[in-house]
Amino acid sequence: MSANTDDVLTPSTDAIEEPSATEEQSASAVVDQDDSAAKALAASAEAARSAEAEADDAALAAAMGGADFEASLQEPTEGDVISGVIVHIDKEGILVDVGAKSEGLVRPNEISRSAADDEELIVGQTIKVVVIGRDKEDGKLLLSKKRADFEKAWDKVIEALEDGRILSAMVTERVKGGLVVDLGIRGFVPASHVGTGDFKHTNLDKYVGQSVPLKVIEVDRDKRKVVLSNKLATEEERGKKKKETLDALKEGDIREGVVRRVTDYGAFIDLGGIDGLLHVSEMSWARINHPSEVVKVGDKLQVMILKLRLDQGRISLGLRQILPDPWEGIADKYHVADVLKTTISRLVPFGAFVLLEGGVEAIIPNSELSTRRISKPQDVVNPGDEIEARIIEIKPEERKMTLSIRRIQEEAQRAAGEAAREQEYREFQNYSKKRSAPTSGVTLGDVLSEQFARARKEVSRKSKRDKNDYDVEDDE
Domain endpoint, select from 106, 140, 174: 140
* Cβ partners under 8 Å of residue 412, min gap 6: none
* Average pLDDT rounded to a whole number, residues 313-320: 89
For residues 196 and 260, membership in a common domain is answered with: no
Assigned domain for 275 exists: yes
For residues 366 and 387, membership in a common domain is answered with: yes
Q: 339 has which bridge partners?
A: 390
357 lies in which domain range?
330-404
pLDDT given for residue 475 in this prediction: 44
Instruction: Check pLDDT > 60 for residue 431.
Output: yes
Higher pLDDT: 119 or 366? It is 366
Assigned domain for 360 exists: yes
pLDDT given for residue 23 in this prediction: 43
For residues 227 and 262, membership in a common domain is answered with: no
* Average pLDDT rounded to a whole number, residues 377-403: 91
pLDDT given for residue 415 in this prediction: 86
How does 269-293 read in b/e, with b if 16+ C-beta sit within 10 Å? bbbbbbbbbbebebbbbbeeeebee
pLDDT in tens, 63-72: 545 555 555 4
For residues 274 and 255, membership in a common domain is answered with: yes
CA distance 393 to 407: 13
* Average pLDDT rounded to a whole number, residues 36-57: 51
For residues 227 and 265, membership in a common domain is answered with: no
Assigned domain for 292 exists: yes
Assigned domain for 280 exists: yes
CA distance 346 to 378: 10
Domain at 386, CATH number: 2.40.50.140
Instruction: Check pLDDT > 50 for residue 38.
Output: no
For residues 282 and 309, membership in a common domain is answered with: yes
Assigned domain for 436 exists: no
Instruction: Check pLDDT > 90 for residue 352.
Output: yes
* Average pLDDT rounded to a whole number, residues 3-18: 36
For residues 168 and 226, membership in a common domain is answered with: yes
For residues 255 and 316, membership in a common domain is answered with: yes
Strand 351-355 and strand 314-318: the pairing is unpaired
pLDDT given for residue 127 in this prediction: 86
Higher pLDDT: 366 or 71? It is 366
Of 115, 121, 109, 184, the closest CA to residue 150 belongs to: 184
pLDDT in tens, 245-281: 777 888 898 999 999 999 999 999 988 878 899 999 9
- Length of the chain measured in residues: 476
Assigned domain for 129 exists: yes
Assigned domain for 310 exists: yes
Assigned domain for 409 exists: no
For residues 231 and 294, membership in a common domain is answered with: no
Q: Which of 182-186, 253-257, 302-306, 459-463 has the lowest mean pLDDT?
A: 459-463
For residues 336 and 394, membership in a common domain is answered with: yes
Asked whether the CA dihedral 133, 135, 141, 145 is positive or negative, the reply is negative
* Average pLDDT rounded to a whole number, residues 436-465: 65
Domain endpoint, select from 382, 404, 426: 404
Predicted confidence band of residue 82 (pLDDT cuts 50, 70, 90): confident
Find the helix packing angle between 406-436 and 444-475, rounded to 10°: 110
Domain endpoint, select from 191, 207, 235: 235
Higher pLDDT: 104 or 58? It is 104
* For the ranges 39-43, 58-62, 194-198, 279-283, the one whose mean pLDDT is highest: 279-283
For residues 216 and 268, membership in a common domain is answered with: no
CA distance 93 to 83: 17
CA distance 284 to 386: 24
Q: What is the number of domains present in the chain? A: 4
Instruction: Name the average pLDDT for the chain.
Output: 78
